[in-house]
A and B are shown apart, each in its own frame.
Chain A
């Protein structure tokens, strides 16, 4: 037997016993009417001659007449009607036939009804089975999809974690590389001022010895006493020998250079601080447009002659970021623009909301960046300007700040035509 049939439990037209088809309660009224017609005892016997229903009592004496008539189920004798009466009962035969017919009709009708019900039950059962099967299949496929979805989620998570790890490794490597670059650049950048500060100090030490010697001479001449003219003459002689006029002027220059050198180092260190301690600074809400306006006002003295400033500053929603870094970023970009041209600068500053992003663009009509140098502009200490006029950290710092705020910095430039720097920041709706 194949699997299909194992589900079906109800079999149409299975062999039945008489007791399955008629019950006592149904038969008794018929038997009772037999008694009313004068039958002494009436019974319905099943296929084993056991009574299904019996009515009436046999008298102590007097052998009654018995009649036993078959009851058929599907054309087969499956039981019998047993009637007993006294010999003199008129029409016994006719009564018996009538009762047999009535019982037979009941049995046949019941059987038909049962068969009909069986078909119904089978169909209902089958559609139920089908429903259950369909349901099971649906549940199975649902489970499969759920598993699949879960697995997928897991896989995606795993991949994401892997990617994150890989990315952070990459980032780490990049950072290390950047740090290496930074260190190299820093060494070079700090070495230059350190070099001239050192040599200046070396010269100044010699100068300082001459100045001390001069002071001692004055002291000694005054202590010895004598003619003032004599003292003045002697001092002038020595002063010329020691070239003190030159020494004093040069000392001023040397010290001034040293101060500049120290300032340069200080600036580098300050920017390095910003570069290194991104994580330490607190996030705050910032009104970018306001800051830009302040920045422009503050930088006005540094505008080259005949600068034309064109602003199109549309109000922006507040940006959450490390405010000082972001201000520094824009200052650096702006400074680059200001230095891009000696005069006749056309400086355009605009801000706008574009979909989910804020766009701030600063453009100039300056010297531009040569195409071959464009890829390197974010490298620490890379600069297109002559040595000494820039630290090369401006755009590096600016980009770090913008990326730290979840944004991006883009530079397009054409040599001799100008540069456009676009800062793109995510729109943060609730500050």
Chain B
């Protein structure tokens, strides 16, 4: 649910990292926090955790100011992946404008992935969101581990869905930005369709994406 205050020229978007427990959602956000320029983003806020497991959510905000003066705030959330926190997951999922599904690439986790994806579909419909109308990006994380499902196979399985699929290792820091970028692009497109970002607010897609996904130029 795009939060748009036309008078204040302020737009708040919500992107939710969803997925099974321990798939690396929090690690993805940590990585984004590390890799992206401080200028465009806020601090990573991690609400109470128990033994590093998310029990509420993590939040990493991003900011963008268009030449027209329109301010866009993108709030990136992670949900708790553990099955028992379903109510929290549902609560965080409310009014999401986009979803990144972080799957675990390990062979033994494929059942868990499927369950979690079904849970996502169910919860989306429960909070009144239509999965077809939501930008959705899939990431197969932990590609650095042995015993992962071969990429070709994953692509074969997920290809027919038409969803953007990325291979990643949040631990090693690759694939994370690409995933995020695809999500940001998807978000831009849906919002543009609804609000006419380009037409009315002179927001350029490339600029928007570049600003948000601006890697820190490390020494």
Q: Does B42 sit within 8 A of A, measured CB to CB?
A: yes
| Bound-complex Cα distance A111 to B41 (A) | 18
Which stretch, B54-62, B195-203, B211-219, touches the partner chain A? Answer: B54-62
Determine the residue in chain B with the shortest Cβ distance to A5: B128
Contacts A115-B56, A116-B48, A126-B90 given: A6-B128 contact, CB under 8 Å? yes
Q: Does B118 sit within 8 A of A, measured CB to CB?
A: no
Residue contact A127 to B87, C-beta cutoff 8 Å: yes
B-binding residues in A (CB < 8 A) = 1-6, 8, 10-15, 72, 74-76, 108, 111-112, 115-116, 118-119, 122-123, 126-127
Determine the residue in chain B with the shortest Cβ distance to A126: B87
Q: Which residues of B contact A111 (CB under 8 A)?
A: 45
Residue contact A15 to B3, C-beta cutoff 8 Å: yes
Contacts A13-B77, A123-B87, A123-B88 given: A8-B127 contact, CB under 8 Å? yes
Contact with A along B106-130 (1 / 0, CB 8 A): 0000000000000000000111110
Q: Which residues of A contact B129 (CB under 8 A)?
A: 5
| Bound-complex Cα distance A362 to B92 (A) | 88
Give me 24 A-to-B residue pairs in the complex whose CB atoms sit less than 8 angstroms apart, sorted by A's number. Answer: A2-B125, A2-B128, A4-B127, A5-B94, A5-B128, A6-B128, A8-B91, A12-B57, A12-B91, A12-B94, A74-B42, A74-B75, A75-B43, A75-B63, A76-B42, A76-B73, A115-B45, A115-B47, A116-B56, A118-B91, A123-B87, A123-B91, A126-B90, A126-B91
Which single member of A15, A112, A122 contacts B45 (CB below 8 Å)? A112
| Bound-complex Cα distance A14 to B1 (A) | 11
| Bound-complex Cα distance A105 to B140 (A) | 36
Contact with A along B34-76 (1 / 0, CB 8 A): 0000000111010110000000110101010000000001010
| Bound-complex Cα distance A112 to B56 (A) | 10
Determine the residue in chain A with the shortest Cβ distance to B128: A5
Residue contact B127 to A5, C-beta cutoff 8 Å: yes
| Bound-complex Cα distance A115 to B90 (A) | 15
| Bound-complex Cα distance A119 to B93 (A) | 11
Q: Which residues of A contact B191 (CB under 8 A)?
A: none
Q: Which residues of B contact A118 (CB under 8 A)?
A: 91
**8 closest A-B pairs by CB:** A75-B42, A5-B128, A122-B91, A2-B128, A123-B87, A1-B128, A74-B61, A75-B61
| Bound-complex Cα distance A5 to B88 (A) | 15
Contacts A12-B92, A12-B94, A74-B42 given: A119-B57 contact, CB under 8 Å? yes
Instruction: Report A343 CB to chain B, min CB distance, Å.
Output: 95
Instruction: Report B121 CB to chain A, min CB distance, Å.
Output: 13
Determine the residue in chain B with the shortest Cβ distance to A75: B42
Q: Does B95 sit within 8 A of A, measured CB to CB?
A: yes
Interface size classification for chain B:
20 to 34
**Most chain A Cβ neighbours within 10 Å, of B95, B125, B129:** B95
| Bound-complex Cα distance A101 to B45 (A) | 16
Determine the residue in chain A with the shortest Cβ distance to B60: A75
| Bound-complex Cα distance A13 to B14 (A) | 10
Q: Which residues of A contact B148 (CB under 8 A)?
A: none
Residue contact A116 to B47, C-beta cutoff 8 Å: yes
Which single member of A72, A126, A127 contacts B42 (CB below 8 Å)? A72
Residue contact A76 to B61, C-beta cutoff 8 Å: yes
**Most chain A Cβ neighbours within 10 Å, of B12, B87, B92, B126:** B87
Residue contact A119 to B127, C-beta cutoff 8 Å: no
| Bound-complex Cα distance A38 to B128 (A) | 56
| Bound-complex Cα distance A115 to B77 (A) | 12
A13-B92, A76-B61, A122-B87 known; 17 new pairs, CB 8 Å cut-off, are A1-B128, A4-B125, A11-B95, A12-B57, A13-B75, A15-B3, A15-B12, A72-B42, A74-B59, A74-B61, A75-B41, A75-B43, A75-B61, A115-B45, A116-B47, A119-B92, A127-B87
Q: Which residues of B contact A119 (CB under 8 A)?
A: 47, 56-57, 88, 91-92
| Bound-complex Cα distance A207 to B61 (A) | 141
Determine the residue in chain A with the shortest Cβ distance to B80: A119
Determine the residue in chain B with the shortest Cβ distance to A115: B47
| Bound-complex Cα distance A119 to B41 (A) | 24
Q: Which residues of A contact B63 (CB under 8 A)?
A: 75-76
| Bound-complex Cα distance A91 to B22 (A) | 47
Q: Which residues of B contact A8 (CB under 8 A)?
A: 91, 94, 127
Instruction: Report B127 CB to chain A, min CB distance, Å.
Output: 5
Determine the residue in chain A with the shortest Cβ distance to B48: A116
Instruction: Report B120 CB to chain A, min CB distance, Å.
Output: 15
Contact with A along B129-154 (1 / 0, CB 8 A): 10000000000000000000000000
